[in-house]
Amino acid sequence: MPRTKEEWQRYNINLSYKTLVGLLEANFPEGACVITLDYWREYPAPGKLRAKDQFVAWRRRANVRLGGAFPHICAMGWNEKGDRYPIHRVVTALPVTSAAFIAGYWGYGDPKVETVPREGLEALARLMMWEALKQGHVREFGKHTWHSRGLVRPEREGKNGKAEKDHHCGQYRQDNSIHGPGAERRGAGQG
């Protein structure tokens, strides 16, 4: 019996949730540090695209301050207070002091840094995907509920037999190379 569109959407959301839980448990065996970036209420709520741009700018500043890209999982959602302000959650293995240092570069609200023990990782995944799990689908077609960068994917095996690191959005692996999969590094105009 073929599945309906709604059944496929719910299946994909549940698969993405299971992938997120597995990624959290594989990369944060002792627990994780969660940076929550919220917005001040004195100003109007930014739109989704503006909030995403502000987060990307913050992540770039954090990468510069830390001396390179830091492994993390991030998700943008809406504040639980129901006032429709966006909220960004960043899960990382950074020490609390380093996380508080880079959280200080968020200039749009009061960031919060917390630690989550290993037992709370599944609840954290549910919180990060709360809206999609409740509705059974993502808000916009083709969009992802979470993104990860620089983490070990236990189900993906690299060329040397070890689990590989990659950029990850939702459930699909992306190729790092600008020339496509399997391409060796080539100079400009050689390819």
According to the model, what pLDDT value does residue 9 have? 82
Q: Which residue has the tokens 């698969």?
A: 15
Please, are residues 124 and 27 in contact by the beta-carbon 8 Å criterion? no
CA neighbor of 30 nearest in space, from 94, 102, 111? 94
Prediction pTM value = 0.76
Question: Does the pLDDT value for residue 160 go beyond 70?
Answer: no
The pLDDT tens digits of the residues spanning 30-67 come to: 999 999 999 998 888 898 899 999 999 999 999 999 98
Please, are residues 17 and 123 in contact by the beta-carbon 8 Å criterion? no
Question: Does the pLDDT value for residue 27 go beyond 80?
Answer: yes
According to the model, what pLDDT value does residue 129 have? 86
The pLDDT tens digits of the residues spanning 109-145 come to: 999 999 999 999 999 998 888 887 787 766 665 567 7
Between helix 96-103 and helix 48-66 the angle, nearest 10°, is 130
Please, are residues 14 and 21 in contact by the beta-carbon 8 Å criterion? no
CA neighbor of 143 nearest in space, from 169, 174, 176? 169
Q: How far apart are CA 172 and CA 68, in angstroms?
A: 24
Classify domain 5-173 at the CATH class level. alpha beta
Q: How far apart are CA 83 and CA 76, in angstroms?
A: 15
CA neighbor of 145 nearest in space, from 9, 54, 1, 25? 9
> SS3 string of 39-73?
CCCCCCCCCHHHHHHHHHHHHHHHHHHHCCCCCEE
